[in-house]
Structure 1
Amino acid sequence: MDKIIAQSKHLCPFLKTTSTAALRSLANAKGLAAKAQGCPVMASAMEQRRAAHSSKVTTAPATSAAPVHSTPRGGAVGSVEFDLPRPTALDAEHVTEKDPATDYESVYKEELDRKRKDKSYRFFNNINRLAKEFPRAHSTSEAEKVTVWCANDYLGMGSHPEVLRAAHETLDKYGTGAGGTRNIAGHNRHAIKLEETAAKLHGKEAALVFSSCYVANDATLTLLGQRFKDLIYFSDEMNHASMIQGIKHSGARKVIWKHNDLADLEAKLAAVPKSTPKVIAFESVYSMCGSIAPIEAICDLADKYGALTFLDEVHAVGMYGPHGAGVAEHLDYDYYASNGTLPLSGRRTVMDRIDIITATLGKAYGSVGGYVAGSVNFIDWIRSYAPGFIFTTSLPPSVMAASTAAIQVQSASNASRRAQQHNTRALKQRLAERGIPVIPNPSHIVPVLVGSADLAKQASDMLLKDHGIYVQAINYPTVRIGEERLRITPTPGHSEELATELVEALEDVFTRLSLKRVADWKAQGGHCGVGTDTNVKPIWTDTQLAS
């Protein structure tokens, strides 16, 4: 089918700007050929090709559709109906010595040169985290020790003794790989246990594990948009690339609402009939700026306008709530801390009100993989229809055992979460005293604003080379141009001594590079919340941290 679509895009100047995913969606719905007939360019081209090939190629009548079959990897056979003739050897008549082949390498080089020119080219540092010395690591040489201040292993679970024990025991007994997809040899006790544990964590009926939360988001959002006729996505403008891609791949209509702006969201929901299927897609903690979504209010709007809620808790699981289930759990902290013994005045918890929750095993749980949790029918539906699940090799048993252990450890104690929050508060305060600009937020993220891709890269390089501190520069497309930053993530293992080293190193770098401080941004009217006297209260209250 993709060959036919490519041929269509070649013939029609209007389709050249249409994504392959959108064309594939139309083809699956048997609507592409009909739409093509209404196009003066495409209809004429189709008729000319039929006439040109009629003596050598047998085609279906114009009023019927010729089946085109494809056999994807994995053995599934599917078919689509399409009205264009198949590419044939006759196309070779267009190939001449004066018609050179595409210079593929020049395209690669041109694209890479563009990124280098605009300073968004990404350099990967060779950082090897040391399990017994967390958060220390070594670079290229084992003698070159550095302190990692930007990892997403927020709680240091990647080197936790219980997690390592579970991984070692399972590895020794069951080997390195899963043996195949979940349908072919990859389903095992470790997958079952992990999914039960994840579902219980979020108070959902079931969960499904994927190779990453990127894949979980992509597969789930793609399927929803493809299977619900006329479904509309209402997507927060700051949503992660995995959510953006899933929505794009679905072919469904997307309405973008301003970040955390409830008035804008409601205005856009109100413009659509309640009977129209819709999904509000958003995150709990936005990882590059540290903002937190108004989840309960979004649930209110979802109820009012008949929408499903899709919440990505990737940067919140393990970090919030008395059991680490995320921000949705944290919003009813006392209720869950009492294991449901405190009254809720007849209302449902915020976590119960969320229809679909996705999360990762690769950040606060220190492992790899992701999952989606929801009703038993929803999860079974994803399991049965989502190609991103069906055709992907299962995670190794040792990884799933380690992930289960990490969730269980964090569900049983708040100690690591509280230590991380204390360290975050202390660091933000010390940076504020130096006038080093931290984008204000209520979460565990410490984004230090630089505002230039080139300067952010220089600052990162100087921290690593001159101070043995690794903090990655964040630039476009992860953040907007002009909002480049250093993203710092304290952990329970970052002691006061290490924090002092970081603050002094940042002071040195900001001075040497003449980077803008809070006063400078304030003089310009503020930027990204810096210099606007924003009073943001941490989501973890003093009482919760002390209890």
Structure 2
Amino acid sequence: MEHIARQSMNVCPFVSSMSASALKQLSKNSSLASKAGGCPVMGPALEHVRQYSTPSSPAQAQATEPFVAPKVEIPVSAGSNEVSFDYDGLYQNDLAKKRQDKSYRFFNNINRLAKEFPQAHRELEEDKVTVWCSNDYLGMGKNEQVLNTMKETMTKYGAGAGGTRNIAGHNRHAIRLESEVAALHKKEGALVFSSCFVANDAVLTLLGQKLKDLVIFSDELNHASMIVGIRNSRSRKHIFKHNDLKDLEEKLAMYPKSTPKLIAFESVYSMCGSVAPIEKICDLADKYGALTFLDEVHAVGMYGPHGAGVAEHMDFKSHLASGIASPAHETVMDRVDMITGTLGKSFGTVGGYVAASSNMIDWIRSFAPGFIFTTSLPPAVMAGTSTSIRIVRSNIEDRVNQQLNVRYVKNAMAGLGIPVMPNPSHIVPLLVGNAADAKKASDMLLEKHNIYVQAINFPTVAVGQERLRITPSPHHGQGISDSLVEAVDEVFTTLNLKRVPEWEAQGGHCGVGEPTPVTFENLWTDEYLKLTNNDMNPNILDPVIESLATSTGVTA
């Protein structure tokens, strides 16, 4: 700055002719600006900015007559050459891209018929189709006992909850439902949310906000709800390769055991049907001092002798023998710190939950905005869901029949070379490999064969891994299964879609046609598939379950 001042003293005739004290005096009595107006350089510059004014600082402002601003009509663009942002153009642009890459989604008008499940009708009631992709995995959405409970509760208590629990109050239906959920997973407490998306987001966000320096380790195929929750937590994260214990351990080992950590993963991954090695992940959690967060959304109702999920399934015989009570030894389900699940799939209603220790549940209840500020589920939904959980817990035959139907469909597809992505679960994913063909296949099944199977594309699955996703239920018997297989076979032929030999020729893809095929042992073994409801412990029939203190608030 001094260098510039010295140069100006030499170059500018006005400055060079004035002493420093004279310049200061001009500055004080506001004459400097008028003098500068005569400068060939500063003059034009001052003319350019003359339209703008600078207010006096409050300390120097003088009291004058009140100023009344003249009424001037100012056009929107006055003083600016800019135009408003093209919001609609953004929408059109993004939608055009989705249409171009064939990932634009069309929602089919499918109206499930409670008395005719798995039948549904389209826009016209006489236009009926068979639904093969519903997540109402056990058909509990049409169960008469559940429907009757909901009708009676709605008649007595009304359609809605009236607001959040903090504002509208607590109710017996929430208390009972959370008690049923906790008992199902054999945990000390449970908390019900409006959906499992909300539950996952709320819990993971809270953990990141409250646990300083938390590091989250997330499976690369985790559901969007977990991804959003981890992002909102603002915690440091590491994404480990899907079900890869070696990769997970390498990442865990980067931190001292004292650093707070959390491993987030699912039991059954809904788009490919793979199953997590829960017990081994718990071993790593113990070794490196991490919490475990297990999403059982696509497993509750269908795995374990009582439908508590894959974690229960890992100690199948022990839980079968103990019934609603906990086995005498520590189980895999005991070792998992947090279990989240949904009420909107196998239980046939709507909502989500987290089950954990009583302290953790009370902590989440007290601090999670996603719970505190969300309207409660309607009383009829909560009452109906409690009834559904009780029915599902005691009905192992539904789980068995579902698995038998899944096996039948998978084996029939394999016999025709139709590319079923291999897995040990109830998911039947048929590999197509591009979005356009997946959409064509779905449309043809619907329009020509009256079979509804939704195409799955990006961002639900990666580009190039598009598929049809089939989910047999206990109600998809051999007759309609044969119709499905025949229709899929015809669609693959008509559209010239790749079958297993074509994928083999290309070196394999998504587990189909791989040089070294990966084989899976079904979670439901032949031994388990012989079980009936008579093999269940009688203590699961209409058990008395104590209300949870954490549902209302623990008295200090």
Q: Which residue number in structure 1 is paired with residue 512 of structure 2?
A: 530
TM-score using structure 1 length: 0.82
Go from structure 1 to structure 2 and tell me whether the alpha carbon gap of 1:98 and 1:158 turns closer, same or farther (over 3 Å shift).
same
Could you tell me how far apart the structure 1 residues matched to 2:340 and 2:363 are?
15
Contact 1:323 1:411 in 2 (8 A): yes
Contact 1:186 1:394 in 2 (8 A): no
State which of 111, 125, 144 in structure 1 corresponds to 2:94: 111
Deviation at residue 523 of structure 1 after TM alignment? 1.2
Q: How does 1:396-475 map to 2 (within 5 A)?
A: 396-475=378-457
Q: How does 1:314-463 map to 2 (within 5 A)?
A: 314-339=297-322, 348-463=330-445
Contact 1:235 1:282 in 2 (8 A): yes
Q: How does 1:129-140 map to 2 (within 5 A)?
A: 129-140=112-123
Give the fraction of aligned pairs with identical amino acids, expressed as a percent.
64
The Cα RMSD (Å) is: 2.0
Q: How does 1:169-188 map to 2 (within 5 A)?
A: 169-188=152-171
Q: Which residue number in structure 1 is paired with residue 537 of structure 2?
A: none
Contact 2:184 2:324 in 1 (8 A): no
Could you tell me how far apart the structure 2 residues matched to 1:94 and 1:304 are?
64
Hey, which bits of structure 1, 4+ residues long, moved more than 3 A? 52-58, 92-97, 340-344
- 1:327-377 deviation per Cα after TM superposition (whole angstroms, max 9, x unaligned): 000000000000179998x85200000000000000011110000010111
**Partner letter of residue 497 of structure 1?**
G
Q: Which residue number in structure 1 is paired with residue 470 of structure 2?
A: 488
Q: Which residue number in structure 1 is paired with residue 502 of structure 2?
A: 520
Could you tell me how far apart the structure 1 residues matched to 2:169 and 2:383 are?
14
Q: Which residue number in structure 2 is paired with residue 87 of structure 1?
A: none
Contact 1:448 1:485 in 2 (8 A): yes
Deviation at residue 146 of structure 1 after TM alignment? 0.3
1:542 aligns with 2:526: yes
Q: Which residue number in structure 2 is paired with residue 100 of structure 1?
A: 83
Contact 1:236 1:258 in 2 (8 A): yes
1:500 aligns with 2:485: no
TM-score using structure 2 length: 0.81
1:250 aligns with 2:233: yes
Could you tell me how far apart the structure 1 residues matched to 2:142 and 2:478 are?
20
Deviation at residue 442 of structure 1 after TM alignment? 0.2
Could you tell me how far apart the structure 2 residues matched to 1:57 and 1:386 are?
45
Q: Which residue number in structure 2 is paired with residue 313 of structure 1?
A: 296
Go from structure 1 to structure 2 and tell me whether the alpha carbon gap of 1:177 and 1:538 turns closer, same or farther (over 3 Å shift).
same
Q: Which residue number in structure 2 is paired with residue 269 of structure 1?
A: 252
Could you tell me how far apart the structure 2 residues matched to 1:264 and 1:402 are?
43
**Partner letter of residue 476 of structure 2?**
H
More relative contact order, 1 or 2 (CA 8 Å, 6+ apart) = 2
- 1:15-56 deviation per Cα after TM superposition (whole angstroms, max 9, x unaligned): xxxxxxxxxxxxxxxxxxxxxxxxxxxxxxxxxxxxx99967
SS of corresponding position for 1:373: strand
Could you tell me how far apart the structure 1 residues matched to 2:54 and 2:215 are?
42
**Partner letter of residue 312 of structure 2?**
E
Could you tell me how far apart the structure 1 residues matched to 2:420 and 2:431 are?
6
Deviation at residue 57 of structure 1 after TM alignment? 9.6
SS of corresponding position for 1:184: helix
Unmatched segments (≥5 aa) in structure 2: 1-52, 60-74, 532-556
Go from structure 1 to structure 2 and tell me whether the alpha carbon gap of 1:186 and 1:498 turns closer, same or farther (over 3 Å shift).
farther
Could you tell me how far apart the structure 2 residues matched to 1:442 and 1:182 are?
40
Go from structure 1 to structure 2 and tell me whether the alpha carbon gap of 1:471 and 1:95 turns closer, same or farther (over 3 Å shift).
farther
- Work out the number of aligned pairs and report it: 462
State which of 254, 271, 291 in structure 1 corresponds to 2:274: 291
Deviation at residue 128 of structure 1 after TM alignment? 0.1
**Partner letter of residue 427 of structure 1?**
V
Go from structure 1 to structure 2 and tell me whether the alpha carbon gap of 1:54 and 1:122 turns closer, same or farther (over 3 Å shift).
farther
Go from structure 1 to structure 2 and tell me whether the alpha carbon gap of 1:54 and 1:454 turns closer, same or farther (over 3 Å shift).
farther
**Partner letter of residue 240 of structure 2?**
W
Could you tell me how far apart the structure 2 residues matched to 1:194 and 1:499 are?
35
Q: How does 1:43-62 map to 2 (within 5 A)?
A: none
Go from structure 1 to structure 2 and tell me whether the alpha carbon gap of 1:96 and 1:265 turns closer, same or farther (over 3 Å shift).
same
Go from structure 1 to structure 2 and tell me whether the alpha carbon gap of 1:342 and 1:195 turns closer, same or farther (over 3 Å shift).
closer
Contact 1:317 1:359 in 2 (8 A): yes
Unmatched segments (≥5 aa) in structure 1: 1-51, 59-91
Bigger radius of gyration, 1 or 2? Answer: 2
Go from structure 1 to structure 2 and tell me whether the alpha carbon gap of 1:269 and 1:55 turns closer, same or farther (over 3 Å shift).
farther
SS of corresponding position for 2:155: helix
Deviation at residue 243 of structure 1 after TM alignment? 0.2
**Partner letter of residue 462 of structure 2?**
R
Contact 1:335 1:341 in 2 (8 A): no
